[in-house]
Amino acid sequence: MSKSDQSRIRNFCIIAHIDHGKSTLADRIIEKTGVLTLREMQSQVLDNMELERERGITIKAQTVRAVYKAKDGNEYIFNLIDTPGHVDFNYEVSRSLAACEGAVLVVDAAQGVEAQTLANVYLALDHNLEIMPVINKIDLPSAEPERVINEIEDVIGIEAHDAPLISAKNGINIEEVLEQIVSKIPAPGGDEDSPLQALIFDSVYDSYKGVIIFCRIMEGRITTSTRIRMMATGAEADVVEIGTFAPGKFIPCEELSAGMVGYITASLKNVKDTRVGDTVTDAARPAANPLPGYKKVNPMVYCGMYPADGAKYGDLRDALEKLQLNDASLQYEPETSIALGFGFRCGFLGLLHLEIIQERLEREYDLDLVTTAPSVIYRVYKTDGTMLEITNPSNLPDPAEIEHMEEPVVSAEIMVTTEFVGAIMKLCQERRGVYNGMEYIESTRALLRYELPLNEIIYDFFDALKSRSRGYASFDYEIKGYVPSKLVKLDILINKEEVDALSFIVHADSAYDRGRRMCEKLKDEIPRHLFEIPIQAAIGGKVIARETVKAMRKDVLAKCYGGDITRKKKLLEKQKEGKKRMRQIGNVEIPQKAFMSVLKLDEE
């Protein structure tokens, strides 16, 4: 492609609050630009994973190239880079944005600007993207496009009066969106004769091709004979194939040059070598500097994952290995629990990431898992002057050796209709939030700012937020740093035996309450045995809460004659089967479920 052709390329992404219609608009754009016939269209082409479709969120960045014949008579190449839709993946989002010149901002005509809308817009503005607002769901009875346009102008401060009023779902006004992409979003720049600088915004592992790098060529060019080097990781390899994207398939080509979006395969075996945000350059003629903005993302949330059936440990390891090929931010290392046996301590970007991995392990790899309470990374400053980072409560040193501890905090923005402000403020206070101010977006909605400890939001904060605002609150956060905190390790003793998998680190002020609720919850989860089972919560050997599972003195004494034998046998076998799936702690059998149910203590 020659230089002049750059003017016919539009690299853009679509940003939106969850459920505002990002993926549906992407579908319409693909449909209208004719890369797919209707028959090939499956709803939401870009959300590849079953899980993504079900949850209605995008987890991995997806890219599609389409050709649009505009009203000016010219053909334009659209590179649509779909970005992950969740705060857990903010870094990936920022790299996808960096690969674009513009962003189509989708705002729901009824709901208006939400927390993620703002967060995404700020992120896009940070990358100097041209933001092109689109008002979606215009055909809803509750649509108020005028109000939403004013809101965009007032709150975000961008021109929105000529924003296309569309319904992505029903294909209304899509043409106008396409025309505005041509007229409003700038063409890419970059000099194809400069040394190669290609921004990696995603990479996937394919069992045939190895690692496939998704990249935007910022400067220079790459051909099939280039030897490439990742500037941050230092990995080098010969290019095997380069090309561009069609939905669901790859189209090889001879050369990619500045301004273009495409893929590279180079017989790389591990996505760890091709970190999102890294710069690909030509090993023979390297660029002087990498592109700005690269950082190695580190897990924020950790938990233990154990196979429900101990014999499946090897299967779990293989599955994690495979998932990691595609997900460099997933970390894991073996660990052992007295209660749960052999498993892994896994690190995730956030709770959603954790849930997604857990679900994928269960669905795609057919594993039955027991997950321990998620933990953040605590910094433990010891009296001998050293500092430890703790992700597993069991590794916490003896309290006597601890000088003080620190925990990570986030700055959070919560957008909520004014009637629920009180309820949400109360929730934030319960979660040790520090109030940082409130703004009224309009007369009915407010933006609350809080500093919250990360460990207070990784449990069930989202659920609590939703239930206390009847689903109206939206939430976004970013990690702010570490602050000293009065933290204690809460141990759970079942029949006088400490269950390591149930220990967790908690702020001293909420320890009593959490301990009490843990005991209550466990009391309901642990089946009765032939003896009484005390359940205790303790801090450093001091019991702070106790419940008792009463001894069972009688089970069902059904009669059992000729016709009852089969049923009886099945009943006893089922009982045995149930026991098999339990974990034996001392002489108490604890259902797997009990280990997880304690994660949701806020249910009312």
Residue 584 binding other proteins, by CB under 8 A: no
Residue 572 binding other proteins, by CB under 8 A: yes
- Residues in contact with other proteins, counted by CB under 8 A, come to a total of 23
Contact 448, 438 (CB under 8 A): yes
Q: Report the residue number, 210 or 527, with the smaller CB distance to other proteins.
A: 527
**Nearest approach, Cβ of 586 to other proteins (angstroms)?**
14
Residue 548 binding other proteins, by CB under 8 A: no
User: Alpha-carbon Rg of the chain, whole angstroms?
Assistant: 27
Q: Report the residue number, 144 or 589, with the smaller CB distance to other proteins.
A: 589
Q: Report the residue number, 4 or 566, with the smaller CB distance to other proteins.
A: 566
Contact 124, 131 (CB under 8 A): yes
Cα distance between residue 485 and residue 475, in whole Å: 24
Cα distance between residue 492 and residue 483, in whole Å: 27
Contact 68, 33 (CB under 8 A): yes
Residue type, 341: G
Tell me if residue 476 falls in helix, strand or coil.
Answer: strand
DSSP E strands in 350-399: the ranges are 369-371, 375-376, 378-382, 387-390
CA distances (Å), origin 213, targets 66, 210, 329, 540, 563? 19, 10, 16, 50, 65
Q: Report the residue number, 269 or 580, with the smaller CB distance to other proteins.
A: 580
Q: Which stretch binds other proteins (CB under 8 A): 237-245, 324-332, 344-352, 571-579?
A: 571-579
Q: Which stretch binds other proteins (CB under 8 A): 8-16, 248-256, 436-444, 564-572?
A: 564-572
Q: Identify the residue among 437, 443, 559, 604 touching other proteins (CB under 8 A).
A: 559
Q: Report the residue number, 288 or 558, with the smaller CB distance to other proteins.
A: 558
Q: SS3 helix, strand, coil % of the chain, rounded to 5?
A: 30, 35, 35
Q: Which stretch binds other proteins (CB under 8 A): 34-42, 67-75, 503-511, 551-559?
A: 551-559
Cα distance between residue 303 and residue 348, in whole Å: 8
Q: Which stretch binds other proteins (CB under 8 A): 83-91, 341-349, 415-423, 556-564?
A: 556-564
Cα distance between residue 561 and residue 557, in whole Å: 13
Question: What is the maximum span of the chain, computed from C-alpha positions, in angstroms?
Answer: 90
Q: Report the residue number, 251 or 560, with the smaller CB distance to other proteins.
A: 560
Residue 532 binding other proteins, by CB under 8 A: no
| Region 459-478 residues binding other proteins, contact defined as CB under 8 A | none
Find the length of the chain.
Answer: 604
CA distances (Å), origin 484, targets 137, 192, 301, 504, 525? 46, 51, 18, 18, 35
Tell me if residue 377 falls in helix, strand or coil.
Answer: coil
Q: Which helix (H) or strand (E) holds 596?
A: helix 592-597
> Left, alpha or beta for 43 (phi > 0: left; psi -120 to 50: alpha)?
beta
**Nearest approach, Cβ of 346 to other proteins (angstroms)?**
34
Residue 366, exposed/middle/buried by CB under 10 A (0-12, 13-18, 19+)?
exposed
Residue 429 binding other proteins, by CB under 8 A: no
Residue 524 binding other proteins, by CB under 8 A: no
Q: Identify the residue among 333, 575, 584, 593 touching other proteins (CB under 8 A).
A: 575
Q: Which stretch binds other proteins (CB under 8 A): 32-40, 73-81, 473-481, 574-582?
A: 574-582
**Nearest approach, Cβ of 528 to other proteins (angstroms)?**
9
Tell me which residue of 352, 51, 48 sits closest to 202, measured CA to CA. 48
Q: Which helix (H) or strand (E) holds 542?
A: strand 542-549
Q: Which stretch binds other proteins (CB under 8 A): 51-59, 131-139, 350-358, 561-569?
A: 561-569
Q: Identify the residue among 251, 387, 508, 552 touching other proteins (CB under 8 A).
A: 552
**Nearest approach, Cβ of 563 to other proteins (angstroms)?**
4
Residue 508 binding other proteins, by CB under 8 A: no
Contact 175, 182 (CB under 8 A): no
Q: Report the residue number, 483 or 552, with the smaller CB distance to other proteins.
A: 552
Contact 144, 109 (CB under 8 A): yes
Q: Report the residue number, 39 or 554, with the smaller CB distance to other proteins.
A: 554
Q: Identify the residue among 398, 541, 554, 604 touching other proteins (CB under 8 A).
A: 554
Q: Which stretch binds other proteins (CB under 8 A): 52-60, 258-266, 358-366, 559-567?
A: 559-567
CA distances (Å), origin 602, targets 298, 401, 417, 428, 519? 28, 33, 22, 13, 14
Q: Report the residue number, 508 or 572, with the smaller CB distance to other proteins.
A: 572
Q: Identify the residue among 579, 584, 593, 600 touching other proteins (CB under 8 A).
A: 579
Q: Report the residue number, 366 or 573, with the smaller CB distance to other proteins.
A: 573
Q: 421-430 vs 461-468: helix axis angle to the nearest 10?
A: 150
Q: Identify the residue among 569, 593, 600, 603 touching other proteins (CB under 8 A).
A: 569
Residue ranges in contact with other proteins by CB under 8 A: 530, 552-563, 565-566, 568-569, 571-573, 575-576, 579
